[in-house]
């Protein structure tokens, strides 16, 4: 099954929609092409978050990005969740629906983390079966993201890129290639991020994620709390050259700055490829791909940072 | 050892993330590979640390006034106890803290006097903070036309039942915690208030949660209507319990209507 281009319009350059920017976005136009939402923040909302989303969706394309599909879990799929997901996708005319290659819990529990799978033939068959079911329910292809991970399993027999390649061949799903996650996992698991990207089927990549991370000295954590670092920009340059039609999205989920900072950061991606649009910033400084693997020089945090969860950012507004 | 199934691995991993020193922790080195920089155990600990830290952050975000009142360390203990007893079973973090007020009530130390105490204060804080969350993102009436009671004929009033907007919640508390919560949210350093029975109506207009303190008399009548009594029955009950009262009923109804508490009216059988 091949990807049908009409399912995945070329959206350009976008950022994640976060509640701290609601007031700004309602008052002035955003210098971005589209927004990605965290599906779970809106699928049950009857209040201000949903109201703002509806207004944003009138002006910009929306992509839905979930954190609780738990496509790799051995628990049954949650069909109530899937129905709500589809309804939100229909309501917002979402360009596509994505989630992560992960599981979030078993035995009826949700850890609210993106837990890694052992990469085995059993896992591949299991996930492929569930992707097919989800696509049937959603009546559209699913897009899956490579997660950042902090452990590898002794029982794994496949590389992550091999797993994703075979999964998309088997199911027709699209790929959301998180370039920062590739870098984080490459450092944490001692593999070559360039080799990873070169083995990902470029024609299956629908979207890229860019984000910052935290260097803990012995490992990296995907904290989404700062600008994209140069080695990740270089990986992005490589990845987008291979998949020029894929949309690009900047994630920023902790220590979220003013919206103008996000606009400037995503403008760097646009400028890198000479795309016409909102760009005013210069392209990022260059570094060599051969220097990508390893822990970049920066101050290490004194305490263990929390892996962020973008679904945190909803607080009641009380007068 | 026979190869473990995916289901077995997932049950094991979830258990050791939630209880790093619990059953199964002795198998970490067999299941998880070390990296160049970290042992298998250290790598898995990243998930264990993140699990509690993330959920603690969610609870702190929903219950900032409880967290302020007891301090960071004690709140973390409360949260740990709560998460152990009520781990998340929902796809949404909006449900994570839903039973926290009830949990505090169930695990509170025994009362030493009849007077409201510190535990009651914390339970009231949690109750109102949760109510704010539910009203903020729950169903509202922003897309509905304002309801006017003026169209009801006088003879129909006694048998009328008023239908409340889904975002209206009358709540009786033992402390004026609404003022304390507001102060915390403003970044102030409030001191705990003295106990005083407090009647609030929490509602939402234009997507902002509003809370109004009302008198005990007004609360009594509004609560009766909220609980489904007809206007006639609610007033009869009110006068029976307040024999010398002269309620400013018209003022109350005008205020409630202006605040958007009602969406419609039904007529009970006469």
Arithmetic mean of pLDDT over chain B? 94
Chains A, B: CB pairs < 8 Å = 174
More confident residue, B3 or A268: A268
pLDDT digits (tens, 9 = 90+) for B66-81: 999 999 999 999 999 9
Q: What percent of chain A has pLDDT over 90?
A: 83
Chain A nearest CA to B19, separation (Å): 12
Distance from CA of A164 to the nearest CA of B (A): 17
Cross-chain CB nearest to B136 (options A111, A123, A317): A317
Cβ separation B14–A118 shorter than 8 A: no
B-chain residues near A315 (CB < 8 A): 61-62
Instruction: Give the CATH number of domain A5-312; options: 3.40.190.10, 3.20.20.150, 3.90.198.10, 3.40.50.720.
Output: 3.20.20.150
CA distance B182 to chain A (A): 8
Tell me which of B50, B95, B134, B206 to substitute to probe the interface with A (most A C-beta atoms closer than 10 Å): B50
Q: What residues form DSSP beta bridges with B201?
A: B170, B212
Average pLDDT of span A114-136: 98
Taking a C-beta distance cutoff of 8 angstroms, is the pair A125, A163 a contact? no
Tokens found for residue A135: 């696509």
Confidence (pLDDT) at A281: 40
Answer yes or no: is pLDDT of A165 > 70: yes
* Per-residue confidence (pLDDT) for residue A318, from 0 to 100: 73
What pLDDT, on a 0 to 100 scale, did the predictor assign at position A285?
38
Q: Domain map of chain A by residue range?
A: 5-312
pLDDT tens per residue, range B215-234 = 999 999 999 999 999 999 99
SS3 A206: strand
Give B254's pLDDT tier (boundaries 50, 70, 90).
very high
Q: A260-284: per-residue pLDDT in tens?
A: 999 999 999 999 987 766 544 444 4
Tell me the C-alpha distance between A59 and A24, whole Å: 14
- Taking contacts as CB-CB distances below 8 angstroms, the residues of chain A near B204 are 47
- Residue A310 pLDDT level (bands cut at 50, 70, 90): low
Nearest CA in chain A to B143: A51
Query: What DSSP string describes B225-255?
Result: HHTT--HHHHHHHHHHHSTT----HHHHHHH
pLDDT at A288 over 80: no
- Which of A47, A113, A318 is facing B138, going by the closest CB pair? A47
Q: What is the pLDDT of residues B22-68, one digit of tens each?
A: 888 899 999 999 999 999 999 999 999 999 999 999 999 999 999 99
The alpha-carbon gap from A318 to the nearest alpha carbon of chain B, in Å, equals 4
Nearest CA in chain A to B53: A306
Which chain A residue has the Cα nearest residue B129? Answer: A316
Using CA atoms of B186, B188, B194, B200 in order, give the dihedral in degrees to the nearest 10: 0
**Coil, helix or strand at residue B189:** coil
Q: Could you give the angle at which helices B100-107 and B118-137 cross, rounded to 10 degrees?
A: 170
The pLDDT value given to residue B209: 96
Compute the average pLDDT of residues B105-123: 94
Nearest CA in chain A to B58: A312
What is the pLDDT at residue A278?
53
Rounded Cα gap, residues B200 and A227, in angstroms: 45
Are A112 and B54 in contact by the 8 Å Cβ rule? The answer is yes
Q: How confident is the model at residue A7 (pLDDT cuts 50, 70, 90)?
A: confident
Does residue B72 sit at the A interface (CB-CB below 8 Å)?
no
pTM for this entry = 0.90
Quote the ipTM score. Answer: 0.91
Separation in Å, CA of A313 to nearest CA in chain B = 8
Tens digits of per-residue pLDDT, B130-158? 999 999 999 999 988 888 888 888 889 89
Degrees, nearest 5: CA angle A213-A215-A218: 135
In degrees rounded to 5, what are phi and psi of residue B46?
-60, -40
In this prediction, residue A319 carries a pLDDT of 72
**Residue A6 confidence (pLDDT) above 70:** no
Q: Give the percent of chain B with pLDDT over 90.
A: 83
> Which two three-digit tokens encode residue B106?
């169930």
pLDDT of residue B104: 98
Look up residue A250 and give its two tokens: 């900047």
Chain A residue with the nearest C-alpha to that of B5? A122
Whether residues B137 and A51 touch (CB distance < 8 A) is answered with no
More confident site: A302 or A117: A117
Q: Is the dihedral of CA A227, A35, A177, A87 positive or negative?
A: positive
Helix spans in chain B (H): 6-18, 28-31, 40-62, 64-70, 72-85, 100-107, 118-137, 177-185, 216-226, 231-241, 249-258
Enumerate the residues of chain B whose CB falls inside 8 A of the CB of residue A112: 51, 54-55, 58, 88, 93, 96
**Do residue A154 and residue B5 have CB atoms under 8 angstroms apart?**
no
d(C-alpha B95, C-alpha B73), whole Å: 23
Residues of A in contact with B137 (CB under 8 A): 44-50, 314, 316
B169 vs A: CB within 8 A: no
Nearest Cβ partner for A115 among B13, B62, B90: B13
Q: Which of A112, A269, A93 is nearest to A180 (CA)?
A: A269
The arithmetic mean of pLDDT across residues A296-310, rounded, is 52
SS3 per-residue string spanning B1-29: CCCCCHHHHHHHHHHHHHCCCCCCHHHHH
What integer pLDDT is reported at residue A287 of this predicted model? Answer: 37
- The predicted structure's pLDDT at residue B184: 97
User: In the structure encoding, which two tokens stand for residue A28, read together?
Assistant: 């002035």
């Amino acid at each position: 099954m091949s990807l049908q281009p009409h399912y995945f319009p070329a959206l350009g350059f976008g950022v994640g929609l976060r509640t701290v920017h609601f007031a700004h976005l309602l008052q002035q136009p955003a210098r971005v092409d589209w927004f990605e939402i965290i599906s779970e923040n809106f699928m049950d909302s009857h209040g201000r978050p949903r109201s703002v989303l509806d207004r944003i969706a009138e002006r910009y394309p929306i992509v839905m990005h979930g954190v609780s599909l738990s496509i790799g879990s051995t628990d049954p799929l949650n069909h109530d969740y899937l129905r709500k997901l589809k309804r939100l996708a229909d309501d917002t005319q979402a360009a596509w629906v994505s989630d992560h290659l992960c599981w979030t819990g078993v035995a009826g529990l949700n850890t609210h983390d993106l837990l890694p799978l052992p990469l085995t033939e059993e896992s591949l068959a299991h996930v492929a079966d569930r992707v097919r079911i989800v696509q049937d329910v959603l009546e559209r292809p699913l897009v899956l993201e490579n997660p950042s991970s902090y452990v590898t399993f002794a029982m794994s027999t496949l590389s992550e890129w091999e797993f994703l390649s075979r999964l998309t061949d088997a199911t027709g799903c699209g790929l959301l290639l998180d370039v920062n996650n590739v870098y984080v996992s490459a450092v944490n698991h001692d593999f070559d991020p360039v080799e990873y990207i070169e083995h990902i089927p470029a024609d299956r990549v629908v979207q890229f994620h860019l984000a910052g991370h935290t260097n803990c000295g012995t490992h990296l954590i995907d904290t989404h709390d700062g600008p994209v670092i140069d080695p990740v920009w270089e990986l992005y340059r490589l990845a987008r050259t291979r998949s020029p039609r894929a949309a690009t999205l900047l994630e920023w989920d902790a220590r979220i700055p003013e919206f103008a900072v996000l606009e400037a950061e995503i403008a760097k991606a646009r400028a890198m490829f000479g795309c016409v649009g909102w760009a005013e910033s210069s392209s990022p400084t260059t570094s060599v791909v051969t220097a990508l693997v390893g822990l970049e020089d920066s101050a290490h945090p004194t305490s263990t940072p929390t892996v962020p969860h973008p679904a945190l950012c909803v607080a009641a507004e009380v007068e | 050892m026979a190869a473990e199934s995916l289901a077995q691995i997932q049950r094991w991993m979830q258990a050791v993330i939630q209880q790093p020193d619990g059953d199964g922790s002795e198998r970490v080195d067999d299941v998880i590979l070390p990296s160049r920089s970290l042992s298998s155990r250290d790598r898995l600990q990243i998930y264990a640390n993140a699990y509690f830290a993330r959920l603690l952050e969610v609870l702190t975000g929903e219950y900032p006034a409880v967290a302020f009142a007891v301090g960071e360390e004690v709140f973390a203990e409360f949260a740990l106890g709560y998460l152990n007893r009520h781990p998340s079973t929902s796809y949404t973090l909006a449900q994570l803290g839903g039973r926290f007020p009830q949990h505090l009530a169930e695990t509170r130390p025994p009362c030493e006097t009849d007077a409201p105490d510190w535990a009651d204060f914390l339970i009231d804080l949690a109750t109102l903070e949760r109510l704010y969350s539910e009203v903020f993102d729950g169903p509202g009436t922003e897309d509905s036309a304002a309801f006017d009671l003026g169209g009801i004929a006088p003879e129909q009033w006694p048998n009328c039942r008023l239908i409340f907007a889904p975002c209206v919640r009358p709540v009786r508390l033992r402390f004026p915690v609404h003022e304390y919560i507001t102060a915390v949210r403003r970044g102030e350093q409030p001191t705990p208030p003295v106990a005083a029975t407090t009647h609030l109506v929490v509602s939402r207009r234009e997507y902002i949660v509003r809370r109004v303190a009302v008198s005990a008399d007004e609360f009594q009548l509004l609560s009766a209507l909220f609980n489904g009594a007809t206007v006639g029955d609610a007033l009869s009950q009110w006068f029976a319990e307040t024999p010398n009262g002269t309620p400013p009923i018209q003022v109350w109804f005008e205020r409630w209507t202006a605040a958007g508490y009602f969406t419609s009216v039904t007529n009970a059988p006469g």
